[in-house]
Amino acid sequence: MSGHRAVGRTEASVSLDLDNLWSYLKTYGDKSWTSLPTFIPTVVPRLLEVFDTAGVTGTVFVVGQDTEVDANCEPLAAIAAAGHEMGNHSFSHEPWLHRYSRERIDEELARTEAGLVRITHRRPIGFRGPGYSLSATLLELLEQRGYEYDASTLPTWIGPLARRYYFRTAGLTEEEREERARLFGRARDVLRPIGPYRWRGAGGRLIELPVTTMPLTRLPIHFSYVLYMHGKSPAAAKFYFRTALRACQVRGIGPALLLHPLDLLDEGDAKGAGFFPGMGLKAAEKRTVVDWCLGELTSRFDVRGSADHARAVSATTLRKRPVPHD
């Protein structure tokens, strides 16, 4: 599968963070996560069908812990067999990764790499932090370990509002709230670029491929938000998404758009994850919306996986940005 390759059109990409059911429950403070409940065997065939329908070769960021569960190995291998890129999404999927020691971050990267190599025989070259967790130490280690790009930034101001809502509904202790103090990012993340750039202090080679937000307003435009809006008003959701893509075209930005597994599942598929936005919609309805969004995206842009997107922009002159303070 080669995806769309149209000469003269701006490169864009689509990726999915393969956050498993246990990782959602863990972040939410639900202790049942320790049994590692999985929906990977259910969601992967749906994802592959979605990518195939859209004619897209995408990227799937995998949590290392899931490579060590037998039930997940065959579906994960199927993603690679279909030609999609596999990226590193940490081993433990803890959005407080930025608080880890250097040694523990390195272990998180290494264990996930080992799991992916064992299943797919391919070493990842891209990383996305859980909950957009990012630090100077992480970026330095990514460069040292030979990664070509990071995709952990979400340049929006809405993160603290989403976190406040999340805390209000989750049963978290004060210690757990402190751990998650940067979940979904900080307000100052709105100042980060929407388009790709290089990290200056990490060695100067590592490319940052941000999850694209709406030009000017910096509101999120990835699929979970579109589905949430669709639950309120299908017409408004379509107008919002089309407006975002047109704004990206006007600004010359090739969007890097993000899917989550729950964008393809409903409460019957993911018991206990009803707190996630849009879970009141049936999976079939979600699929219709996702297919429409991907159709809109591929009609306007040359859609690739994240690695191909990063390599395409690496041939251009990219700005360099200082690494964040830990």
Determine contact, residues 109/57, Cβ cutoff 8 Å. no
Confidence grade of residue 325 (pLDDT, cut at 50, 70, 90): confident
Q: What is the 3-state secondary structure (H, E, C) of 192-252?
A: CCCCCEEECCCCCCCEECCCCECCCCCCECCHHHHHHHHHHCHHHHHHHHHHHHHHHHHHC
pLDDT: is 93 or 158 the higher one?
93
Q: What is the pLDDT of residue 324?
A: 83
Confidence grade of residue 2 (pLDDT, cut at 50, 70, 90): very low
Determine contact, residues 40/66, Cβ cutoff 8 Å. yes
Q: How far is CA 245 from the centre of its chain?
A: 18
Average pLDDT of the residues in 182-199? 89
pLDDT: is 170 or 84 the higher one?
84
Confidence grade of residue 326 (pLDDT, cut at 50, 70, 90): low
Average pLDDT of the residues in 264-284? 93
Q: What is the pLDDT of residue 133?
A: 93
Express each pLDDT in 230-246 by its tens digit: 999 999 999 999 999 99
pLDDT cut 70: percent of the chain above it: 97
What CATH architecture does domain 11-317 belong to? Answer: Alpha-Beta Barrel (3.20)
Annotate 243-279 with b (16+ C-beta within 10 A) or e (fewer): ebbebbbeeebbbbbbbbbbbbbbbebbebbeebbbb
Please say if the pLDDT value at position 1 is more than 50: no
Express each pLDDT in 249-263 by its tens digit: 999 999 999 999 999
Q: Are strands 207-208 and 197-199 parallel, antiparallel or unpaired?
A: antiparallel
Confidence grade of residue 83 (pLDDT, cut at 50, 70, 90): very high
Residue (of 3, 119, 122, 116) closest to 51 by Cα position = 3
Please say if the pLDDT value at position 173 is more than 90: no
Indicate the residue type of 59: T
Please say if the pLDDT value at position 290 is more than 50: yes
pLDDT cut 90: percent of the chain above it: 79
Task: Let me know the angle formed at the C-alpha of 21 by 31 and 152, rounded to the nearest 5 degrees.
Answer: 105
Express each pLDDT in 20-34 by its tens digit: 999 999 998 889 999
**Side-chain-facing half-sphere of 205: CA atoms under 13 Å:** 12
Place of tokens 């049942």: 32
Determine contact, residues 271/29, Cβ cutoff 8 Å. no
CA end-to-end distance (rounded Å), the chain: 40
Domain boundaries, the chain: 11-317
Please say if the pLDDT value at position 271 is more than 60: yes
Determine contact, residues 39/269, Cβ cutoff 8 Å. yes
Q: Rounded to whole angstroms, how far apart are CA atoms 76 and 17?
A: 13
Q: What is the pLDDT of residue 139?
A: 96
Annotate 38-59 with b (16+ C-beta within 10 A) or e (fewer): bbbebbbebbbebbeebebbbb
Confidence grade of residue 10 (pLDDT, cut at 50, 70, 90): very high
What are the CA-CA distances from residue 112 to residues 65, 74, 161 (Å)? 7, 16, 31
Determine contact, residues 12/309, Cβ cutoff 8 Å. yes
Q: What is the pLDDT of residue 8?
A: 60
Of the candidate ranges 111-125, 138-152, 309-323, the one whose mean pLDDT is the lowest: 309-323
Q: How far is CA 19 from the centre of its chain?
A: 9
